[in-house]
Amino acid sequence: MSIQDLIEKTKVSFCQDCGVCTGSCPVSRVLPGFSPQQMVAKYVLSSDLGLEDDILEDQDMWSCLACGLCLQRCPSKVDYLEFVRALREEAFSTGKKPTFAHDEILQTIVQMQRGGVPQNRTAWAREAGTIREEGEYYLFVGCLPYFDVLFRDMGVSSLRSASDMLKMLNKLGIEPVVSDEERCCGHDMLWSGNVELFKELASHNVELIKRLGCKKVIFGCPEGYLTFKSYYPLYCGDMGLEAVHFYDLVHDQIQEGAFQMSPLEHKATYHDPCRLGRMAGIYEAPREIISSIPGMELVEMERNRENAVCCGISCWANCSSYSKQMQMDRLKEAEATGADTLITACPKCNIHFSCALSSTEMGLEVKDLTQLMASAMDV
Amino acid sequence: MQDNTTHIKQNDDPPCKAACPILTDAREYVQLIAERRFEEAFASIRKLNPLPSVCGRICTHPCEAACKRGQVEEPIAIATLKRFACDGPWKDQYKGTPPAKPTGHKVAVVGSGPAGLAAAHDLALLGHDVMIFEALPILGGMLRVGVPPYRLPKDVLDEEIQAILDLGIEAKTGVRLGEDIKLAELFEQGYKAVFLAIGAHKDRKLGIPGEDELAGVVSAVSFLRQVNQGESPEVGEKVAIIGGGNTAVDSARSARRLGAKEVHMVYRRTSDEMPAAGEEIEDASEEGVRISYLTSPLEILGKDGKVSGLKCIKNELGEPDADGRRRPKPVEGSEFSIDVDMVIAAIGQAPESSSVGEELEVAERGNRIHVEDSSLVTTRAGVFAGGDAVTGPATAVKAIAAGKRAAISIDLYLRGEALQEAKPAKEIEAQELPEGIVEKTPVSPRCLIQTLSLDDRLAAFDEVALGLTGEQAILEAQRCLHCNLGATVDEERCIGCGTCVEACPLEIPSMDPDGRLDLDLFQCQACGTCVAECPVQAVNARFYPHRWVVSEVQKIVGDSRITDPFIVGLFSQYGNFNQGDLDALGQAFPQIVQVPVFGLERVSLSDMMQLFQLGADAVLIGKAPPENNRFPGAWPLVEKRCEAVREILDLLGYGGERLIIYTMPKEGLFEAGWMDETMERISTLGPNPLRRQAIAA
């Protein structure tokens, strides 16, 4: 797609120059010169002048977190997110990429999943609970086994979220299918411009899950959930599969009293992940789950729900001192509520806040919601 | 051969380079030797220095005095490494070429010592037509007639002079300026510029009774000139040398070789002030030369018109004089005599500038030729001067620097452009390594330089210092601490996470309360641990930058130089192997892509994974024997990375056993038989799934 077409498609030319986007943007607050509004103006002008190469060289497109805050507030409904995503797609096709954090290891892992051999990523599941070869429910585990190796030293045990999830599902009588052939959901590929690989991963996963006879796909990770629910259909058409977020599923069961919960004495605040909140509209289920745990006091940060801010980095791109600043601002906001615990509902938010917290003296603890639930339910 | 040291970029000068009058990049060639790239090491030296073998032997190596390693135990033997790089059979590979189109300008170079030869060499490379005029019957100046062959063998000098002449330079010997030809006549003959590099060949007189009338009193310059032209001047049984410079020591050691039983050096100050090089004094002492410090000669005693003794007086040191050295003061009543039958006066030389005195301005003090400024132009247009003739007796490398400077000025002059002053030498502030860094740096003793046996030394004029073997040279070069090539931080990128603070084996980086990182480049030894560990690539090293290993292998894959199976061998350069071991491995197992790595600390988890992404069926990691480990503090991290790689390979279904880590033996790359077993093991693993797919496609 030409950049001109892309401007048309995403309604960027409707921009009224009001600046609400820049005023809302968490990146604009910390990164000097970054402004969605000016970026739009700059790219539209360059496109009019035929300077498409200049646009593709520009670094600003990679600094956007695609958090969707501007999109939500734009009076002209400019699809800024899709604009940035599609620009990245163009830039990627000419060999551009951001600097990926962790020395690009996560991108390498995704590439290596394409080797066509079954992975060995489900051993934990057989230890933690009961799974099936085929069945109605598929549990999409995503990156967690790999995160577990890479971020263990940070005190983040990603795999525990997976096994806690499985145990709770088992308790509800659900014995899901997990598969060694599952590959990355493709979220990061999509948002770093590698659409070809995204499509390949999407169709692989869809075919796999269908082959295993599943109808419902359970996600614990907001990115996987959103990608499967909203982006897979754009590229794979009607899959005949239903994406279910674990919190939605478990929330209903908690309301029906399916779980015995022992008290956890904490004053906690909850961070809405962009993909789960603004982009998938799941705000209340996590809050109600927290509140249903005896002893838990939930307090809100100033910026919550649709106004929540991003954890500072997405698709591992361009992590920098600016990301850190956003994380520190958010941690201070959490601390200001008087909470002792910051609850996250996204494995990446968990990693990013744990990283930022590790170099501070703050008396705050970052906890994954799934793990918190599991400890209250004693599964 | 072109300079293709791609991973050694031009950066802030290291102390060794800054200390060198011709800015030889010692750090660069030392590193090339450490990597077994001897030919390139030679090219690196030779591109700047037309007399590299000479300097490898007689340079006073100010680089070594500046070397940071000296703060840990002893400096790198830089000069000895230079000699090694210049002695090997690869040295014919580098040839400068004069431009295809000569400028047509004739330039006369008067004097063929280091200054004259360097100027002639550079002028020829600039396309000028150079003629050397030499007063003596043979070329080389003081290198030829001043330095004895046991320090600088004549064939070494011959070879380097020949290589210079091969650029198309002509030379006339036996032509003395002022006597055989005047400056003005050179211009009449069509020379457009003249470089005067006549050296300082005139002895200073002692000025004491007995000097002129007694047989057996000689000047050091004439004595050494005879020695060095292959004559064997008669020496006495007991010889006194007066003076404390290198010329005095050369005379003393030569006298011993010519049969003198007792040789006394008489020097008026203490050993601290003695200008001769320390290792020369040591060698002389080994050869039985005795030195009387704080002693001045008063009179040469005679009998029957021949020397019979030397009357001396003891000194004490008084106030510092003009050059800052404390002035010797005679101690009253301390006179004594020594029995000698020969006296060699070696108290300094001056230029024989009377030859040009009518045509040029000569400084009164020391007869030095006056130059206007650092462009080396004299009071007469088109006439330039440099080396000892201008400075008085100094070092060979300073003379080479002057010759190179003169070539630049003469070239500008011939092209009608304004002369330029030389850039002032960069002042590099001497920095001290903190004690903590010194303590954490494993001590690595400087190489011992083998010498001829004492009997062989005294029997003839054979070269005393023996060179290094390739293995010795590599070990010595690997002691380099890579000044100014270490880690630098991109502050915008740095997230202040403290990973590098934890990772650094020398505990160099620190973090202030605001999360700002402080990393002192001077202390850093460029191990690359932090580069490999930084989660956001905010740290990079100038030496083997980020992703070097992967890009090396990528080049090989790109050239499709891979076979089946495809194995990458990352061998720590600190192992005790040599090029022959690598070659033998290449012969026996051509399927192993060899990547010798300067320390495995710099290979990141992601680097290793990317090698598998490139299709490697197995990656061999050869650790150096523990006693060679330069950064023991980093090793646990390397082990941890390897563990993580295995775990990820297992998760991916590739199999963690594709990463093979082993420790190299005391000698060679691996124990006999080990590689056969390992290859057997690898073959059972089958191809890397990605590569299998590629083959199938």
Mean pLDDT, rounded, of chain B: 93
Residue B641 CA, chain-centre distance (Å), reads 38
Residue B532 at interface with chain A, using a CB cutoff of 8 Å:
yes
Give the confidence band of B7 by pLDDT, cuts at 50, 70, 90: very low
Residue B173 at interface with chain A, using a CB cutoff of 8 Å:
no
Which residues of chain A are within 8 Å of residue B692 when distances are taken between CB atoms?
115-116
B176: pLDDT strictly greater than 90: yes
Instruction: Look at residue B93 in the predicted model and tell me its pLDDT.
Output: 64
Helix axes A80-93, A36-48, angle to 10 degrees: 50
Which residues of chain A are within 8 Å of residue B493 when distances are taken between CB atoms?
99, 320-321
Give the rounded percent of residues in chain B with a pLDDT score beyond 90: 84
Alpha-carbon span B609 to A111, nearest angstrom:
11
Mean pLDDT, rounded, of chain A: 95
Instruction: Look at residue B95 in the predicted model and tell me its pLDDT.
Output: 74
Which residues of chain B are within 8 Å of residue A118 when distances are taken between CB atoms?
653
Asked if A25 and A70 touch (Cβ cutoff 8 Å), the reply is yes
Give the confidence band of A175 by pLDDT, cuts at 50, 70, 90: very high
Q: Per-residue DSSP letters for A22-58?
A: HHH-HHHHHSTT--HHHHHHHHHHHHHTT-HHHHHH-
Nearest chain A residue to B516 by CA: give it.
A321
- The CA distances from residue B378 to B58, B193, B350, B361, B368, in Å, are 29, 11, 18, 8, 11
pLDDT digits (tens, 9 = 90+) for A19-72: 999 999 999 999 989 999 999 998 888 888 888 888 999 989 999 999 999 999
Alpha-carbon span A60 to A28, nearest angstrom:
11
Q: Which residues 275-294 in chain A show a CB within 8 A of chain B?
A: none
Q: Which of A103, A117, A359 sits opposite B497 (nearest CB)?
A: A359
> Within 10 Å of residue B238's Cβ, how many Cβ atoms?
19
Residue A332 at interface with chain B, using a CB cutoff of 8 Å:
no
3-class secondary structure, B219: strand
Helix axes B26-34, B78-87, angle to 10 degrees: 60
Instruction: Look at residue A294 in the predicted model and tell me its pLDDT.
Output: 95
pLDDT digits (tens, 9 = 90+) for A302-325: 999 999 999 999 999 999 999 999
Q: Which of B511, B538, B605 sits opposite A105 (nearest CB)?
A: B605
- A·B CB contacts under 8 A: 104
Average pLDDT over residues B412-431: 83
B366: pLDDT strictly greater than 80: no
Residue A119 at interface with chain B, using a CB cutoff of 8 Å:
yes
Asked if A216 and A244 touch (Cβ cutoff 8 Å), the reply is yes
Average pLDDT over residues A329-352: 97
HSE-CB of B3 using CA atoms within 13 angstroms: 16
Instruction: Look at residue B322 in the predicted model and tell me its pLDDT.
Output: 82
Instruction: Look at residue B5 in the predicted model and tell me its pLDDT.
Output: 36
The residue whose two tokens read 């739009």 is A40
Residue B492 at interface with chain A, using a CB cutoff of 8 Å:
yes
Type of residue numbered B582: L
Asked if B568 and B619 touch (Cβ cutoff 8 Å), the reply is yes
Give the confidence band of B9 by pLDDT, cuts at 50, 70, 90: very low
Q: Which of B604, B607, B690 sits opposite A115 (nearest CB)?
A: B690
Q: Per-residue DSSP letters for A262-300?
A: ----EEEEEEPPTTTTTTT---HHHHHHHHHSTTEEEE-
Instruction: Look at residue B515 in the predicted model and tell me its pLDDT.
Output: 80
Q: Which of A115, A322, A324 sits opposite B689 (nearest CB)?
A: A115
Which residues of chain A are within 8 Å of residue B609 when distances are taken between CB atoms?
105, 108-109, 112
Alpha-carbon span B241 to B344, nearest angstrom:
5
pLDDT digits (tens, 9 = 90+) for B76-93: 999 999 999 999 988 876
Q: Which of A103, A112, A121 sits opposite B537 (nearest CB)?
A: A103
Instruction: Look at residue B8 in the predicted model and tell me its pLDDT.
Output: 43
Residue B491 at interface with chain A, using a CB cutoff of 8 Å:
yes
pLDDT digits (tens, 9 = 90+) for B628-659: 989 999 999 999 999 999 999 999 999 999 99
Kindly provide the ipTM of the predicted complex, given to two decimals.
0.96
3-class secondary structure, B526: coil
Tokens of B413: 């002059």
Instruction: Look at residue A73 in the predicted model and tell me its pLDDT.
Output: 93
Average pLDDT over residues B515-544: 93
Reference B57, options B163, B159, B147; nearest CA is: B147
The angle subtended at Cα B525 by Cα B522 and Cα B529, nearest 5°, is 125
Q: Who's near B415: CB < 8 A, 6+ residues apart?
A: none
Give the confidence band of A375 by pLDDT, cuts at 50, 70, 90: very high
Which residues of chain B are within 8 Å of residue A359 when distances are taken between CB atoms?
496-498, 511, 515
- Give the gap in angstroms from C-alpha A152 to the nearest C-alpha of chain B: 10
Give the rounded percent of residues in chain A with a pLDDT score beyond 90: 86
Which residues of chain A are within 8 Å of residue B650 when distances are taken between CB atoms?
120
Reference A70, options A24, A7, A16, A11; nearest CA is: A24
Instruction: Look at residue B2 in the predicted model and tell me its pLDDT.
Output: 31
Q: Which of B493, B604, B653 sits opposite A117 (nearest CB)?
A: B653
Alpha-carbon span A366 to A330, nearest angstrom:
12
A177: pLDDT strictly greater than 60: yes
Average pLDDT over residues B240-269: 96
Reference B93, options B46, B36, B145, B154; nearest CA is: B46
- Give the gap in angstroms from C-alpha A92 to the nearest C-alpha of chain B: 19
3-class secondary structure, B461: coil
pLDDT digits (tens, 9 = 90+) for B225-236: 999 998 889 999
Instruction: Look at residue B562 in the predicted model and tell me its pLDDT.
Output: 75
B10: pLDDT strictly greater than 90: no
Reference B264, options B248, B247, B245, B280; nearest CA is: B248
Helices (H), B527-568: 529-533, 548-558
The percent of chain A in helix, strand and coil, each rounded to the nearest 5, is: 55, 10, 35
Nearest chain B residue to A359 by CA: give it.
B497
> Within 10 Å of residue B22's Cβ, how many Cβ atoms?
18
Tokens of A12: 């960027």
Say if the Cβ atoms of B651 and A119 lie within 8 Å: yes
When mean pLDDT is compared across A131-135, B364-368, B450-454, B592-596, the lowest value belongs to B364-368
B318: pLDDT strictly greater than 50: yes
Q: Which residues 653-682 in chain B show a CB within 8 A of chain A?
A: 653-654
Residue A115 at interface with chain B, using a CB cutoff of 8 Å:
yes
Instruction: Look at residue B428 in the predicted model and tell me its pLDDT.
Output: 67
Residue B197 CA, chain-centre distance (Å), reads 24
Determine which of A30, A117, A354 to mutate to test the interface with B (most B C-beta atoms within 10 Å): A117
Average pLDDT over residues B327-340: 94
Instruction: Look at residue B3 in the predicted model and tell me its pLDDT.
Output: 34
Alpha-carbon span A284 to A311, nearest angstrom:
19
Alpha-carbon span A92 to A79, nearest angstrom:
20
The residue whose two tokens read 């550079």 is B122
Average pLDDT over residues A141-169: 96
Residue A121 at interface with chain B, using a CB cutoff of 8 Å:
yes
Average pLDDT over residues B280-284: 95
- The CA distances from residue B186 to B193, B385, B599, in Å, are 9, 15, 59
